[in-house]
Amino acid sequence: MEMESGLPANRSPSPMSWVNLSRNLILAYQSFGVVYGDLSTSPLYVFTSAFEGKLLKHYDEETILGTFSLIFWTLTFIPLLKYVLILLAADDNGEGGTFALYSLLCRHAKFNLLPNQQAADEELSSYKYGPSSQAVNSSPLKRFLERHKRLRTALLVVVLFGACMVIGDGVLTPAISVLSSVSGIRATGKKITDGVLVLLACVILVGLFALQHFGTHKVAFMFAPIVIVWLISIFSIGLYNTIYWNPKIVRALSPHYIFKFFIKTGREGWISLGGILLCITGTEAMFADLGHFTATSIRLAFAFVIYPCLVIQYMGQAAFLSKNLNSIHNSFYDSIPGPVYWPVFVIATLASIVGSQAVITATFSIIKQCHALGCFPRVKVVHTSKHIYGQIYIPEINWILMILTLAITIGFQDTTLIGNAYGLACITVMFVTTFLMALVIIFVWQKSVLLAAIFLLFFWVIEAVYLSAAFTKVPQGGWAPLALSFIFMVVMYVWHYGTRRKYNFDLHNKVSLKWLLGLGPSLGIVRVPGIGLIYSELATGVPAIFSHFVTNLPAFHKVLVFVCVKSVPVPYVSPEERFLVGRVCPGPYRMYRCIVRYGYKDIQRDDNDFENQLIQSLVQFIQMEAVEPQFSSPESSSLDGRMAVISTRSLESTSTLIVSQHEDVGVDDSIPSSKSITLRNLQSFFEDDATQTRRRQVRFQLPNNPGMDPAVKEELLDLIQAKEAGVAYIMGHSYVKARKSSSFLNKLAIDVGYSFLRKNCRGPAVALNIPHISLIEVGMIYHV
């Protein structure tokens, strides 16, 4: 269950040294293949999308100049000013994206809706990232938002809506990018039907999604050169077209031409903004993919390479169109000089695939983060790279994306219609990001409300104009991202609602500690050899499944550990801070609690080492308790809730236990000391039938230490003997049903929606990498 050690190496030292500069230049080079594939392929379809519809009535040289001026200033204000200069500074421990902003807000103000959060979580090193929040404790706005749970829920809904639109990007980007690139075949004069083009695009798309399970790291080194060759190509073609066709196009850099454009075109010009905004699609990737690079490297790449190349390409395309008015329906490919046409066509196709790859990977990351917030069903997450931290693959989502992308491509068969949908999805994400950033300026950066209001109004006015134009395209394809977002929002909300109700049921039906203490150390049942790991979402208290189990089967393991695996609102939790260990009852009861904490970007790894780390953590805790008085208070009633952070990195060096290990090929020996012939036969049958795997077998021994406290020695021996007897995992197999008195909507959400999602997602035991042979499930009915 432990994640691979080490955090992403994306923290750069503040002083700008030559070493730091060279590192940032290398990262800037790598970012071309991951971040900028989508943004750099926008020239394929921007002018064509802008001049669809009634704007063609005003189609002349002056209108083209105004269109280019709009593109130039849009690129300047949104990607350059808003993202590169401002948003990249609002990172969360080096991570970016809407969830990073939300995470910052949850930590600096009490906006968090995650259950089972504890004061100990605030002591995490990554939790304290950014300015201290003490200065804004008295803010009336902060108190107002913290008091009203509906406002905090509304904030979460806004974040999830932005996440759903990013998922929409993951569907629409491959469709429009690949279809636009293959449509260049028509510019050769060959008579190719729409059906053939769509079929070719679908073949490429199926291949793209089929290769996802290899992970982008396999071909990541190839991606950057492809995008760089593409950027050199569009820069050179743009410069050639500007000089050859119309050098006076440079005058359109003046915003004066924007006013002339709107005066002349009126309403048709405003509607055309829905096509013009496609020039900034892919901008969000600069912020969302910040975790793999540094802010400096992304700024260098955009300001000195991407921005100039795009401006020159759009300028050259406008210069070509001003003298070739009939080429508007295939403007990019028509503007390519004949001798270099086919090489550019091949590079354009490859670049569109690279851009699509980056957005698909970002979609996987968003789904993972939604799950960490308790807002998405459990899915299989595969970590595809040992070197690039955070690159993941989710099989179920990959095939759903493929089906949706093929449906969009086959259904629309037109880049303009897909562009209408794509533009609406992108500008909505930017609108949400602007709102969250304004809150970060107030609560995290601790600046004045006035400054945040200026930021919000300035960018919201620009984005609102584009958003309103994009909404006019809803009947012409713009409904697609809204429909996709609605479906994903329903899934997220129903899952979040059901999970919260189930957690609240557990919280209100905890077993009384006074009742447990009154039973004595034996708990009034037979205590058999072994360790029982009882999984629950509760961070304090004893879950109801424990009493349910012992009521029906009055026997339990000699050592009990209540395990809670939970998410905290930080991107990563370091291995040194992952485990919180404590007692539930006094020493003779042999009942402990272990809380395993993960950040929203952490990956749970199946390395077969969780049991051993847990035993070593308990041993270290027992010793720490013996020497530190704050853990050995005689007040037994206050034991539950007092936890100690146990570093997994220092466990290997502990001298308390003698640890011997060897590689063993075979299945986990879960019943090593069983005297039951039936159990041994069952185990041998399982071993014959199971796949042979290589596992690390670990044995613990207690060294001779005359100075050790007898009570501590006895407890440690009990723990080691219990480990030798075997470990069992106990989980609740829950059936969640709405109460009879519930409303119709509540019954619909729980009995239909939540029940369907639970039955069709991965089980908690699989998601937590629990060995099937050691699993005991306790049936529970939840009436919520």
Greater confidence (233 vs 549) lies with: 233
d(CA 418, CA 75): 21
Q: Over the stretch 643-657, which tens digit does the pLDDT of each residue have?
A: 788 766 555 545 466
| Region 141-170 average pLDDT | 86
Burial of 153 (0-12, 13-18, 19+ CB in 10 A): middle
SS (H, E, C) 146-172: HHCHHHHHHHHHHHHHHHHHHHHHHHH
d(CA 33, CA 224): 4
Longest dimension (CA), the chain: 96
Residues 6+ apart with CB under 8 A from 321: 47, 64, 327, 328, 331, 335
pLDDT reported for residue 402: 94
Residue found under tokens 């354009």: 348
pLDDT value at 14 more than 50: no
pLDDT value at 13 more than 70: no
Name the percent of the chain lying above pLDDT 70.
Answer: 84
Query: What does pTM read for this prediction?
Result: 0.83
Provide the pLDDT confidence category of residue 219 given band limits of 50, 70 and 90: low
Residues 6+ apart with CB under 8 A from 348: 41, 44, 181, 184, 230
Find, among 723, 31, 783, the residue nearest to 354 by Cα.
Answer: 31
pLDDT value at 577 more than 90: no
| Region 666-681 average pLDDT | 49
pLDDT reported for residue 648: 60
362 vs 357, 398, 465, 594, CA distance in Å? 9, 12, 27, 32
Provide the pLDDT confidence category of residue 561 given band limits of 50, 70 and 90: very high
* Beta strands 382-383 and 526-535, pairing class: unpaired
Q: Over the stretch 595-642, which tens digit does the pLDDT of each residue have?
A: 999 888 887 765 557 888 888 888 888 888 877 755 555 444 455 556
pLDDT value at 698 more than 70: no
- Structural contact between residues 283 and 307, judged by C-beta atoms closer than 8 angstroms: no
| Region 704-717 average pLDDT | 80
pLDDT value at 513 more than 90: no
Strands, DSSP E only, in 613-693?
643-646, 658-665
pLDDT value at 64 more than 90: yes
Dihedral sign computed on CA atoms, order 717, 718, 724, 728 = negative
pLDDT value at 298 more than 80: yes
Provide the pLDDT confidence category of residue 416 given band limits of 50, 70 and 90: confident
Alpha helices in 80-213, H assignment, sequence order? 98-108, 140-147, 149-182, 194-210
| Region 558-584 average pLDDT | 88
226 vs 175, 197, 217, 220, 239, CA distance in Å? 20, 23, 15, 10, 20
Provide the pLDDT confidence category of residue 353 given band limits of 50, 70 and 90: confident
Provide the pLDDT confidence category of residue 7 given band limits of 50, 70 and 90: very low
Name the percent of the chain lying above pLDDT 90.
Answer: 31
pLDDT reported for residue 635: 46
d(CA 415, CA 421): 10
Dihedral sign computed on CA atoms, order 123, 127, 130, 135 = negative
Greater confidence (131 vs 335) lies with: 335
Provide the pLDDT confidence category of residue 460 given band limits of 50, 70 and 90: very high
